A and B are shown apart, each in its own frame.
Chain A
Amino acid sequence: MGIEFRNVTKSFGDTKVVDNLSLEIRDGEFVVLLGPSGCGKTTTLRMLAGLEPVTSGDITINGERINDVPTQHRDLAMVFQSYALYPHMTIAENIGYPLRVRKLNPVERAERVKRVAAMLEIESLLERKPRQLSGGERQRVALARAIVREPRAYLMDEPLSNLDARLRVQMRGELKRLQHQLGTTTIYVTHDQAEAMTLASRVAVMKKGRLQQFDTPLNIYNHPANRFVAEFVGSPSMNFIAGEISDGTFVSDALRLEVPPELAAQSRVTMGIRPEHIEVLTSPQEGAVPASVYVTELMGNETFVFLSLGPQRLIARAPAEFRAEVESRVWLRFAHDKAHFFDSVSEVSATKRHKNID
């Protein structure tokens, strides 16, 4: 079902929690709202669910304005961060609750609960109470309660944040498969950029109530619209070096780099470059910049090299077998065609306009 936010604003007193948000979500899409805590992503979701009134603007589902439709008539399903399982009901009663409310007869209700339970492999838990379940099991029950009926969309509010790391990755995969299988529009809120990258068909990055960029994960990663998006997405984070552009060259205290000719001369600019686009060399080479190793972190499959380039601290990704002593001298080669340039004042990307649309 197509969902649209049209100039939606939400204020609590004088603070705008969501500021003039416009977002068009297509039928069957898996959209992730991504941002740090307090960016308004959960409020956005709650407005869509009808749990929070909209201050101004419109929310539509399939073209129908739903601002004033009460929650229970919106026909959406939601998975809460806390799971919000009814503690006094058994798992079967929990999953069957949306059907019971819709006065579905008990026989069919039981059948559908069983079918969904089988799908999520929780059949053996049906007679238990929520408090007897582990976190992962509760998570499945919350999901089951959402998919037991066919709602117009699923809303998920950080559903994986209470799970341990291993389980989170596993459930992430299962969620993706489930959504693929059901094909239902899903709106998913998270502050974890890895979840956003892996799950989303499109990611909406938010900051302080404002939408920063709404695009595919790959475009978000490769063509961030501004410095915030560039920094928030990707781990380890992008490196930033302040400087200026003149005569097709980026100049900072410790670095000179050729830039694409279409970039205009600019006195205050910040270059952003991802750790994988800095090559660390142990011997001097043509065009490589000298730097010193601050510390290295072995990850097993690769090595993170923390570097000092003048006063600047950088991080680079090196192969697993890369070894260097602390304070040893190295040379850096920047993949300058992968560098991003942001206006230092507005923080908007200057490189964005030549992104390839895909």
Chain B
Amino acid sequence: MDHKKAHSVRYLLLVPALVFAVAPVYWMLTISLKTEVEQFATPPPWFVFTPTLAHYYDAFVTRGFGQYLLTSAIVAVTSTACALVIGTLAAYGLARFELPFRLNRRLSLWILSTRMFPAIVTAVPLFLMMRDVRLLNTRAALILIYTAFNLPFVVWMMRGFFADLPRDLEEAALVDGDSRLGALVRVALPLVAPGLAATAVFCLIVSWNEFLFALVLTQTEAAMTLPVGIAGRVTQYEIKWGVMSAAASVAIVPILVFALALQKYLVRGLSMGAVKG
């Protein structure tokens, strides 16, 4: 009986939270499917309206949202991959090799400190730097910056996962004749795979959603990412709610799919280290 009661209390708390979280997404989805007249009707037609795909057609066929989507995908995937490779190697080094002068701790804190100031502080310097190396309006600029901004996160996450891994296993691999890198790739990495997956999802989400640097550093259609593209529909003369909602609805799909695909690892990765064994 108590068990049932606890169950109902749990749902009583969960349902409002869920409604709170999903309502904006629902609002966005319905806007993207409504005609402009219905978008502004009062009271708004919550559930019953005549769906239309006109805004999707407008966004992805008439306008260049397909191009933005592609740019976003390239930038997010490449920067995530770079951050994971570099960050994992750095994390492994920090977790496994004892450096002189207590550098393990100092370097780790230094890496973390780069995340301690607000991103906006670096916007102007980065703009000037990118201008000087002629990388303004390129995907490369965004890839570089997203990689740099994701690195501290990757290093700190992965360092923890590696630290929790018994050294014995890699030592056994070395004695068995494998190289350090071989031991990392064949023994350590498969064992921290859930952590790696969780880290990857976070990096991807951050890169995919990033708005500030994308706005500052890319002005041309060819280099614009989806968030900047969507925001660009707010103009002096009109706000294209339908097009924006349609593009935004499409924008959440890749992340959703990726996170669902890695869900199994995600939960394990996030709780890894929390519980030993």
**How far, in angstroms, from A240 to B175 measured CA to CA in the complex?**
44
Cβ-closest 6 pairs across A and B: A84-B172, A84-B168, A98-B176, A71-B174, A78-B175, A101-B177
Instruction: List 30 A-B pairs, Cβ < 8 Å.
Output: A49-B175, A50-B174, A71-B171, A71-B174, A72-B176, A72-B179, A74-B175, A77-B176, A78-B171, A78-B175, A80-B171, A82-B166, A82-B168, A84-B166, A84-B168, A84-B169, A84-B172, A86-B172, A87-B169, A87-B191, A88-B191, A97-B173, A97-B176, A97-B178, A97-B186, A101-B176, A101-B177, A101-B182, A102-B177, A145-B172
Knowing A86-B187, A87-B191, A88-B191 are in contact, say whether A72-B169 is a contact too (CB < 8 A). Answer: no
Knowing A75-B177, A102-B177, A145-B176 are in contact, say whether A86-B169 is a contact too (CB < 8 A). Answer: yes
Specify the chain B residue showing the minimal Cβ separation from A86. B187
**B190–A72 contact, CB under 8 A?**
no
Taking the closest CB of chain A, its distance from the CB of B197, in whole angstroms, is 14
| A51 is an interface residue with CB less than 8 A from chain B | yes
Q: Is the interface of B mostly helix, strand, loop or mixed?
A: helix
* A residues in contact with B172, CB < 8 Å: 78, 80, 84, 86, 145
Knowing A72-B179, A86-B169 are in contact, say whether A51-B187 is a contact too (CB < 8 A). Answer: no
* A residues in contact with B171, CB < 8 Å: 49, 51, 71, 78, 80, 84
Specify the chain B residue showing the minimal Cβ separation from A52. B171
**B187–A72 contact, CB under 8 A?**
no
* B residues in contact with A102, CB < 8 Å: 177
* Chain A residues with a Cβ under 8 A of chain B: 49-51, 70-78, 80, 82, 84, 86-88, 97-98, 101-102, 145, 155
* B residues in contact with A72, CB < 8 Å: 174-179
**B174–A51 contact, CB under 8 A?**
yes
* A residues in contact with B182, CB < 8 Å: 101
| Interface size class, chain B | 10 to 19
Taking the closest CB of chain A, its distance from the CB of B223, in whole angstroms, is 41
* B residues in contact with A78, CB < 8 Å: 171-172, 175
**How far, in angstroms, from A49 to B167 measured CA to CA in the complex?**
14
Taking the closest CB of chain A, its distance from the CB of B181, in whole angstroms, is 11
* B residues in contact with A97, CB < 8 Å: 173, 176, 178, 186
Which of B168, B171, B176, B177 is most buried by chain A, counting CB atoms within 10 A of its CB?
A: B176
* B residues in contact with A86, CB < 8 Å: 169, 172-173, 187
* B residues in contact with A82, CB < 8 Å: 166, 168
User: For chain B residues 186-239, which have a beta carbon within 8 Å of chain A?
Assistant: 186-187, 190-191
Could you give, for residues 143-176 of chain B, a 1 whenever the CB lies within 8 Å of some chain A CB and a 0 otherwise?
0000000000000000000000010110111111
* B residues in contact with A77, CB < 8 Å: 175-176
Specify the chain B residue showing the minimal Cβ separation from A93. B186
* A residues in contact with B168, CB < 8 Å: 80, 82, 84
Known: A84-B168, A87-B169, A88-B190. 15 other contacts (CB 8 A): A50-B175, A51-B171, A51-B174, A70-B174, A72-B176, A74-B175, A76-B175, A78-B172, A82-B166, A86-B169, A97-B176, A98-B177, A101-B176, A101-B178, A145-B172
Specify the chain A residue showing the minimal Cβ separation from B178. A101
**How far, in angstroms, from A183 to B64 measured CA to CA in the complex?**
74
Taking the closest CB of chain B, its distance from the CB of A247, in whole angstroms, is 59
**How far, in angstroms, from A155 to B172 measured CA to CA in the complex?**
11
Specify the chain B residue showing the minimal Cβ separation from A145. B176
Taking the closest CB of chain A, its distance from the CB of B167, in whole angstroms, is 9
**A71–B166 contact, CB under 8 A?**
no
**How far, in angstroms, from A332 to B160 measured CA to CA in the complex?**
63
Specify the chain B residue showing the minimal Cβ separation from A51. B171
* B residues in contact with A74, CB < 8 Å: 175
Taking the closest CB of chain B, its distance from the CB of A68, in whole angstroms, is 15
Taking the closest CB of chain A, its distance from the CB of B174, in whole angstroms, is 4
Taking the closest CB of chain A, its distance from the CB of B217, in whole angstroms, is 41
Could you give, for residues 68-97 of chain B, a 1 whenever the CB lies within 8 Å of some chain A CB and a 0 otherwise?
000000000000000000000000000000
Taking the closest CB of chain A, its distance from the CB of B169, in whole angstroms, is 5
Specify the chain A residue showing the minimal Cβ separation from B191. A88
Specify the chain A residue showing the minimal Cβ separation from B193. A88
Taking the closest CB of chain A, its distance from the CB of B215, in whole angstroms, is 43
**How far, in angstroms, from A113 to B176 measured CA to CA in the complex?**
14
Which of A49, A72, A82, A88 is most buried by chain B, counting CB atoms within 10 A of its CB?
A: A72
